[in-house]
Amino acid sequence: MDIVVKKIVREVKGGNQEAFAELVELYKDRVYHVAYRILGNVHEAQDVSQEAFLRAYTNLDSYDENRKFSTWIYRIATNLAIDRIRKKKPDFNLEDRVGGTENLDYHSQFADETPLPEEQIVKLEMQEWVQDEIMQLPPKYRTAVILKYIEDLSLKEIAEVMNLPVATVKTRIHRGREALRKRLG
Amino acid sequence: MACSREQRTLIDTYLDEEMTTREAEQLERHLQECPECRSYVDECSTAVARLRSMARLEAPAGFTDQVMKSLPKQPKRRQWKTWIRRHPMVITAATFFLVFLISLSSVMGGEETVSVEGSGQYLIDESQNMVVVPEDAVVEGDLVVRNGSVEVNGEVTGDVVIINGQHLQASTARISGEIEEIDESMEWLWYEIKDFMKDAFSFSGNGTENEDSR
Ligand SMILES: [Zn+2]
């Protein structure tokens, strides 16, 4: 896997733009998923993950081939997502929360599976509830918790993604977990 | 709160699964006795289990295409330039090679005589390396001229192909097919350069690999 990625990266660096599509294919789901969990909105998640790949392309020269590509692209994507949350804060976007616009979005992803059986609806509502609680976390805890418990990354990987010492990452995970314990526990 | 902050830190380590078996056993014994710590651990575990149960979403359809469309346009020339920037040695070598080839071809060329393929009426002027199709003449099919120029005043029903020569325009010409000028020495030169570059590229490719793996 890593050898394949290295090869593609070199192709792209050598001027073969088309080869970049293979990188996108390999990482798009992970990037999109992380962006969605941080932002809780499909449109923003798509926007941010596309922007992340565009930035990866334009900054490919700064990518260190000795590191995992996934870590690098996660880093770009999570930074973009957090930036977006911070920019949104002053005029807290009513449209995104009131009336559950994002929930609607969430449902629309399963549109082709209608009608949903009772059990599925309960499951979906549970997912929405958990997602809402994740969204209540301060951004710095949110990323750490998502990377740890949803993406299942190691502490070392999370430290690389967030550009923080492992000890700091641990503290953030603990604080995030503590906050969620009160809401989800 | 009966238990200290220290106990909390211990529990965090336990939840992180970073305890030795002995430490874990010790804490588990405490949990059996202490409902407060026990419910703390339970709540944390439930929260974590809920996070872990989140469905995996996939990027929407057409995602990759949209990313690819958003990338800055990359004209062929730029690829070439990037490549040159990365391999300045090769381009220097190639320039030398080009100069060498040009001088070589000028030494070799110049003694070939004009030859013509085609059926019909035409005049061959060997002193000027020139083929002329007169105004009222017709060449049926293609007219191929090698090592000479051609002036068509009459009619050619096929293509006019000039190898190592020029087509001289005439207003009365009627050529049904296409006019093609081929410069053999240039073609050959180009072919040789491409071949040379290919070798040079694979050679310098190995070079970069060594450089990268520091
Ligand atoms: Zn206790």
Domains and CATH numbers, chain A: 2-87 (1.10.1740.10), 117-184 (1.10.10.10)
Mean pLDDT across B16-37: 93
The answer for A153, left when phi > 0, alpha when psi is -120 to 50, beta otherwise, is beta
- Give pLDDT tens digits for A91-136: 444 444 433 344 444 444 455 556 678 888 888 888 999 999 999 9
A78 alpha carbon – ligand 1 mean position (Å): 37
Q: How far is A165 from chain B (nearest CA, A)?
A: 17
Confirm if B140 and B121 have CB atoms less than 8 A apart: no
- Give pLDDT tens digits for B134-192: 888 888 888 888 888 888 888 888 888 887 877 776 767 778 777 777 776 666 566 66
B196 phi, psi to nearest 5 deg: -65, -45
Residue B132 has pLDDT above 70, yes or no: yes
How confident is the model at residue B94, as a pLDDT?
61
How confident is the model at residue B142, as a pLDDT?
84
Question: What is the full per-residue pLDDT of chain A (185 aa) written as tens digits?
Answer: 689 999 999 999 999 999 999 999 999 999 999 999 999 999 999 999 999 999 999 999 999 988 999 999 999 999 999 999 988 755 444 444 433 344 444 444 455 556 678 888 888 888 999 999 999 999 989 999 999 999 999 999 999 999 999 999 999 999 999 999 998 88
What does the mean pLDDT of chain B come to?
Answer: 76
How confident is the model at residue B87, as a pLDDT?
63
- Which residues neighbour ligand 1 (ion) by CB within 5 Å? B 3, 34, 37
- Give pLDDT tens digits for B55-68: 999 999 999 999 99
Chain A residues near residue B60 by CB distance under 8 angstroms: 32, 42, 46
The model's pTM: 0.60
Pick from A25, A32, A58: which is nearest to B57 by CB?
A32
Q: How many CA atoms lie within 13 A of B162 on its CB side?
A: 19
Confirm if B161 and B187 have CB atoms less than 8 A apart: no
Q: Hey, are the CB atoms on B43 and A49 less than 8 Å from each other?
A: no
Q: What's the farthest any 2 CA atoms get from each other in chain B?
A: 118
Crossing angle of helices B21-33 and B35-52, rounded to 10° = 120
Chain B residues near residue A36 by CB distance under 8 angstroms: 57
Complex ipTM, two decimals?
0.82
Q: Hey, are the CB atoms on A33 and B67 less than 8 Å from each other?
A: no
Chain B residues near residue A170 by CB distance under 8 angstroms: 16
Mean pLDDT across B102-131: 70
